[in-house]
Amino acid sequence: MRETPIDFQTVKEKIKSSGLNSVGRASIREIKKLVDEIENATGERFIRMEMGIPGLPPSEVGVQGQIDALKKGVAAKYPDIQGIDVLKKEISRFVKLFMDIDVREEGCLPTVGSMQGGFAAFLMLSRLFEERDTTLFIDPGFPVHKMQHRVLGLKFDSFDVYNYRGEKLREKLESYFSTGKIHSVLYSNPNNPSWICFTEEELQIIGELATKYNVVIMEDLAYFGMDFRKDYSKPGLAPYQPTVAKYTDNYILFISSSKAFSYAGERIGMMVISDNLFKSRFENLLEHYPSAEFGYAMVFGTLYPLSSGTSHSAQYALTAMLKAANDGELNFVEEVIDYGKKANIMKKLFTENGFEIVYHTDIDKPIADGFYFTFSYPGMSAEELLDELVYYGISAISLLITGSEREEGIRACTSLIQHDQFGDLESRLIKFNEDHPI
């Protein structure tokens, strides 16, 4: 029997009845269920950092746009698979105004969340060349992308970028590309889970090698504009959201509306295919698709059989949000900046109490404050730490499921933590530090 911030006996019983051998090895959803049960049994509120879901209300402009569209009757009509014209126009404007890149409207496609964009892209990219059968993940990364590969029966390889920042990235990437097996590369930027952001130099390296080896780069911008060290919120004005699109014309961008516009529930995202890739022809595609042209095969050969397009009313919601952002009437970055403020306070509380930030720099700059951060505690593995933190009312996930090689690392998500919980967080971390002297 021990004195812990959350009643020791109750936590122990709940872990036992959950059937989990170890909290540290449980999936995100298993941890969620366990913590729900402990909270119900004890009446204590946890510092819940396990799930990466928006902690803010949805963008009002979007909700209004969607309601208006529903009232006009769009629910009865199938949307065009390639997306409604007004949305395609606003996506193209959005990438011009916030990334300073030119993409024709035809390559701007709505998808059922970024998740579907990834699924569709993986399906096609694995079929471009007979001899190329592998996707390369620059990890750590979002575990569901690997799950998509597994269900599709597709091969992938990966490496943890921790030791390959800056110029070192070139040699590492080239070692994979030169095998002739890699058709595409995926990374998220800012990165889920580590919140590292590639520098311009790194994006340039990735872009140059993509062109040299004719490899497609999938850039996952699920956290668009959320590197709050710079202000990417002004349409048409530098600085712009950094992107590999500046350095190669062989790319697909996934821009999610889930976090940037807090619109996760409506499952709508954007897939932006470069003009060059959209028009590129791959004879190998003809085995599965009606056309060898990448863009045509994506729309009529992939998105069509997957879901016949994206929810009609959600497309209007996204059109309204993008138009407002493009016209300078909606500062979508400002709306989510609180994630960064919370991360700043939380990281301080953790590091003042013996914890360390695992992915702590972008080469020579401290990492940004944002949606996620990673931490560890000296002398403890991630599994041991997660198992122990439950007794202190703190829940999170291990980095091991993200392809990270940092065995001590934990991912913390800032989104659901309320400012009035910082007092609890501080006292629990102080107690943890006292109980586990370094």
- Contact residues for ligand PLP, defined by CB under 6 A: 52, 113-115, 142, 188, 192, 220, 222, 256, 258, 264, 269
- Compare residues 226 and 346 and give the one whose CB is closer to ligand PLP: 226
Smallest distance, ligand PLP to C-beta of residue 438, A? 32
- Whichever of 59 and 256 has its CB closer to ligand PLP, that residue is 256
Residue at token pair 């007092």: 423
Contact 83, 109 (CB under 8 A): yes
Q: Which is nearer to ligand PLP, 191 or 326 (CB)?
A: 191
**Cβ proximity to ligand PLP, 263 vs 375, nearer residue:** 263
Q: At its nearest, how many Å lie between ligand PLP and the CB of residue 17?
A: 30
- Angle, CA 423 vertex, CA 418 and CA 426 arms, to 5°: 110
Task: Extract the tokens encoding 364.
Answer: 């020579």
In sequence order, what are the residues at sequence separation of 6 or more whose Cβ sits closer than 8 angstroms to the Cβ of residue 101?
A: 95, 243, 245, 246
In the bound complex, what is the minimum distance in angstroms from residue 136's beta carbon to ligand PLP? 16
Q: How far is the CB of 178 from ligand PLP (least distance, A)?
A: 27
Closest by Cα among 392, 430, 397 to 411: 397
- Give the nearest distance from C-beta 48 to ligand PLP in angstroms: 16
| Residue (253 or 285) nearer to ligand PLP, CB | 253
Q: Measured between alpha carbons, how far apart are the two ends of the chain, in Å?
A: 22
Q: 3-class SS at 157? A: strand
DSSP string, 65-98: HHHHHHHTTGGGSPPPTT--HHHHHHHHHHHHHH
Instruction: Kindly state the smallest distance separating residue 424's Cβ from ligand PLP, in Å.
Output: 26
Q: How far is CA 110 from the centre of its chain?
A: 17
Tell me the closest approach of the beta carbon of residue 421 to ligand PLP, in angstroms: 22
Distance CA 264, CA 14 (A): 31
Query: Least distance to ligand PLP from the beta carbon of 10, Å?
Result: 31
Residue nearest to ligand PLP (CB): 113
Bridge partners (DSSP) listed for residue 253: 219, 272
Q: Are strands 251-256 and 216-220 parallel, antiparallel or unpaired?
A: parallel
* 52 vs 242, beta carbon nearer ligand PLP: 52
Neighbouring CB atoms inside 10 A of 237's CB total 13
CB nearer to ligand PLP: give 258 or 313: 258
Q: Report the alpha-carbon distance of residue 259 to residue 51 in Å, rounded.
A: 13
- The tokens for 360 are 């702590």
Closest CA to 190 of 235, 131, 230: 230
> Which one, 82 or 256, has the nearer CB to ligand PLP?
256
